[in-house]
Structure 1
Amino acid sequence: MKVGIIGNYGHNNNGDEAILTGILHQLTVEVGIKKEDIVIFSNNPDNTKARYDIQSVPLLYKEGNVLASGLKTVKESHQVMKKLDLLIIGGGGLLMDMYKRDAPLYSVLGMTGRRAGCKVIIYGVGAGPITTRAGRFFIRRLTQAARSISVRDQDSKKLLQSIGVQKNIEVIGDPAFSVPALKKHEPSKKIKKVGVTAVPYFSTQYWPEPDVAKYEAYVDGMAASLDRLIVEKEVEVTFFSTKYPEDVQVTKDIQAKMTEKDRVTLIDDNLHPTDIVSISAEQDLIIGTRLHSLILSVVAQTPIIGIGYHHKVHDFMDVLNRSELGVKIDHVRKETTAVFDVFETIEQKWETVQDDFVTVSKRLKEEAKLGLKQIIK
């Protein structure tokens, strides 16, 4: 079987790379497909080829204008796709219209795959936000082109049904749960080591519609929360990033605002997903904002506090059945105690919490394998 994989790969977003790593593990280890029979459609084919030693082609060919780019992309992608048996669209939060290119791009590529004779599947994706007429149109067209559809949470399923998707939609574990765990969290007597990931929330360098006041409020709130944990709970804080280098800058901004900045370690590296799992395994607790920093922590069986900057983080905490361990990002403020309060809740039943995360990690790894039937049938 020859397989193509389409997703938001090659952008040094190690959340997306974790998804790809998980899918590749499923294909090569669980299904037995050879690496030379896989091709990845990537934003940066050279980067992807170097990372995985797998053939990679452009996700989008950029010409002089949008129409020329679209025509070139369809023409070149069709030449690749007609040699494939299976085209996987996913995973990740692909079915949304927050960014203008996403819904049209993935829809056109899915329809191109179908015309090329591929079995097209939508695999372990997240959906939303979908707020525009154009977004709804393109996403429905993509689902019509697909042989089967799976999403990573119930809210994504409900959203797709609400915009008129008629096909059966399966709910599976995020493919990133198939990332191999070279290390796992070792139970501890108390919470001593705390890993932290951040996102440039409303940053002028990153966010589609920036808001300096919101960014500064988030940075100040995280700094104050971590200072209090260091002083009152005597924890050791380690920052690491899942999107490089954007997330490194926001962690540096948080550290700069901290009074206890000299008691913080900052890992300024572009980490592979397996490295993120290993770093997470070395911590007692992860306070994570990026979704896949939380997912990879659970892969490592490390307990988490989820900072909800996007509905997908709240959705994930619901998947864990631990919504009480989530904090809305707007509640992370210099004058609030939301993060500290959740920390104390975990601390009071620490042994039970650790046991629970071992159980949920195993469950979600098994649920991620549910999607294999889409591939092999």
Structure 2
Amino acid sequence: MKIGIVGNYGNDNNGDEAILLSIVKQVTSTFNISSEQLTVFSNNPEQTAKRYGVSSFPLYYKNGNAVKTFFKTYRLNKEIVKTFDLLIIGGGGILMDLYRREAPLYGSYAMMAKNSNTPYVIYGCGAGPLLSGLGKWFIRYMCKHAESISVRDPESADLLQAIGVKEQVQIIGDPAFSLRKVVQDKAAAPTKIGITAVPYYNAGYWPEGNATIYNDYVEGMAKNLDKLAAQHDVELTFFATKFPQDADVTKDIVKKMIYQDKTTIIDDNLLPNMILDITAQQDVVIGTRLHSLILATCTETPIMAISYHHKVSDFMKLANLEKYAFPIGDIHHHPTLFLDAFSEMKQNWQATISDTKSLSSQLYEESMKGTKQFVDAIKHK
């Protein structure tokens, strides 16, 4: 049996790497096969092959312009796709056109599979934004010919329906929830707080740079963390899921803080299992990156979120935690958001822990339902 996996992998985004790790574990367990029978299309094939024990090929082949790149990638990788028993297109917010390449790129893999009579599934993805006619066309094409479609939140399902997808769309949550790690003992009271940040509107990372917005965000984070540190005896640990970009932002935040003596920055490229270890050691995680929130939930660690993207607020809504989700634009104007939320959690700490354990278990069960897609797709071949 040969199974292919395609997504935004090999890009030093360890949120996406957590998704890949979960899919590799799910597929090998479901079919009782070795990782050597898997092929992953990756931005860094050598790194991906070494980490996961899989075969790996380039996700795309640059060839002058977008059109030439599309056709070269299609021509070369179709020869690989046609050897598969199943292709899994999935994990992460790849059903979008914010960066222009995503919809045509992943749509090309749907075309490769369809034209090779290789069954494929769209698995546990996030959708949106979808603003261009071309992007919408590719996503409709992907969905029309897939054996099955699943997404990670109701908003993604609604968006697919809104752009004209007529096929049934399942909601299974993020595949990374299958990495659940039960933590036996939680602190009697919260003192350790983990934090992640993103380079929000930083010109070196964001599609459109804006120094004023970035500085307001950094200052807002610093002020909120200072207010929290002033009122509570806490240890603040910054960690990154996208390295080194997120670590650089945390350094900018700490420079503006008064209570720098209460902070630690983990300035390392943390693989998913390392992030799980870190979130398990925290009592609360204040996350901007979606997968810092997801992996914290996997380790039964209570969370609050800074919603820099709709996928973060969508997840917090799915988890019934909207009251702990703060729009990123509010951070600069309201310096006690973290303090107020933390104080409420601390006052009701045992209930907070109990609710988080239940949420972790529930989301794990939902994510594991998705493996039925793999089995059903191969049955229909």
TM-based fold match above 0.5: yes
Displacement of 1:31 in angstroms is 3.2
Matched, 1:63 2:63: yes
Number of the residue aligned with 1:237: 236
Displacement of 1:334 in angstroms is 5.9
Q: Within 5 Å, which residues of 2 pair with 1:138-217?
A: 138-179=138-179, 181=181, 184=183, 186-217=185-216
On the 8 A contact 2:180/2:360 being kept in 1, the answer is no
Q: What residue identity is the alignment partner of 1:151?
A: V
Number of the residue aligned with 1:30: 30
Q: What residue identity is the alignment partner of 1:271?
A: L
On the 8 A contact 2:35/2:52 being kept in 1, the answer is no
Number of the residue aligned with 1:341: 340
> Equivalents in 1 of 2:72, 2:339: separation in Å?
52
| Sequence identity percentage | 47
Displacement of 1:348 in angstroms is 1.9
Displacement of 1:185 in angstroms is 6.5
Displacement of 1:372 in angstroms is 0.8
On the 8 A contact 1:173/1:366 being kept in 2, the answer is no
Q: What residue identity is the alignment partner of 1:278?
A: D
Structure 1 residue ranges (4+ consecutive) displaced by more than 6 angstroms after TM superposition: none
Deviations 1:205-245 (A, max 9, x none): 11001111111011001111111212211110000000011
> Equivalents in 2 of 1:294, 1:44: separation in Å?
25
> Equivalents in 2 of 1:136, 1:63: separation in Å?
24
Deviations 1:118-158 (A, max 9, x none): 11100000001112212111111111121110001111001
Matched, 1:247 2:261: no
On the 8 A contact 2:180/2:299 being kept in 1, the answer is no
> Equivalents in 2 of 1:50, 1:59: separation in Å?
16
Number of the residue aligned with 1:84: 84
On the 8 A contact 1:94/1:126 being kept in 2, the answer is yes
On the 8 A contact 1:185/1:301 being kept in 2, the answer is no
Deviations 1:13-63 (A, max 9, x none): 001001001101101123322211100000111121122121100110112
Q: Which moved more, 1:29-38 or 1:94-103?
A: 29-38
Q: What residue identity is the alignment partner of 1:364?
A: L
Displacement of 1:336 in angstroms is 3.0
Displacement of 1:341 in angstroms is 1.6
Number of the residue aligned with 2:52: 52
> Normalising by structure 1, what TM-score?
0.97
Q: What residue identity is the alignment partner of 2:150?
A: S
Displacement of 1:335 in angstroms is 5.0
* Aligned length in residues: 376
Let me know the Cα RMSD of the aligned residues: 1.2
Number of the residue aligned with 2:137: 137
> Equivalents in 2 of 1:30, 1:353: separation in Å?
34
Q: What residue identity is the alignment partner of 1:344?
A: S
Q: What residue identity is the alignment partner of 1:120?
A: Y
Matched, 1:123 2:133: no
Q: What residue identity is the alignment partner of 2:296?
A: S
Gaps of 5+ in 1: none
Displacement of 1:339 in angstroms is 2.0
Q: What residue identity is the alignment partner of 2:298?
A: V
Q: Within 5 Å, which residues of 2 pair with 1:255-266?
A: 255-266=254-265
Q: Within 5 Å, which residues of 2 pair with 1:320-359?
A: 320-333=319-332, 336-359=335-358
On the 8 A contact 1:110/1:142 being kept in 2, the answer is yes
